[in-house]
Amino acid sequence: MYGALWRVLPGPWWVRTLILLIAVAAILTVCVFWVFPWVAQFVAPQEVTVGLGQ
């Protein structure tokens, strides 16, 4: 799959690398600002405590 993606991208290797880095940054940004907050409303927070010396 990664090989197919690499072959589809235009330009020399450094342009392909730049395109992939920008795409990864965009995907991570979307996840952090929209996907993770949306999922967080469905996940119940758990009360977790760590006892020392018990």
Per-residue pLDDT, 42: 86
Within 13 Å and on the Cβ side, how many CA atoms surround 23? Answer: 9
pLDDT for position 54? 57
Residue 53: the pLDDT is 61
In the chain, % helix, strand, coil (3-state, to 5) comes to 65, 0, 35
Residues of the chain with confidence (pLDDT) below 70:
48, 53-54
Q: Which two tokens stand for residue 31?
A: 């996840």
